[in-house]
Amino acid sequence: MVPSNVGGIDSVQWPFLFSVDFDLGLDPAFNFSLRQTRSFQVTQEAGFLIMSISHYALNSSENRYAPLELDIIDRQSSRRFMNAAIPVQTLGYLGLASVLPTPMLVMPNAGLDLTLSSMINTGVTYTGQMRHQFTFFGYRVRIDNAENVLSTIFG
Question: Given a cut of 80, is residue 117 above it in pLDDT?
Answer: yes
Mark out the alpha helices in 39-145 (DSSP H runs). 61-64
Average pLDDT over every residue of 31-48: 87
Quote the distance between the C-alpha of residue 60 and its chain's center.
Answer: 21
Q: Rounded to 5 degrees, what angle do the CA atoms 128, 129, 134 make?
A: 135
Mean pLDDT of the chain: 82
* Measured distance between the N- and C-terminal CA atoms of the chain, rounded to whole angstroms: 17
**Bigger pLDDT: 58 or 24?**
24
| 3-class secondary-structure state, position 37 | strand
- pLDDT single digits (tens) 59-115: 666 677 888 999 999 888 888 887 889 999 889 887 789 998 888 888 888 899 999
Mark out the alpha helices in 19-145 (DSSP H runs). 61-64
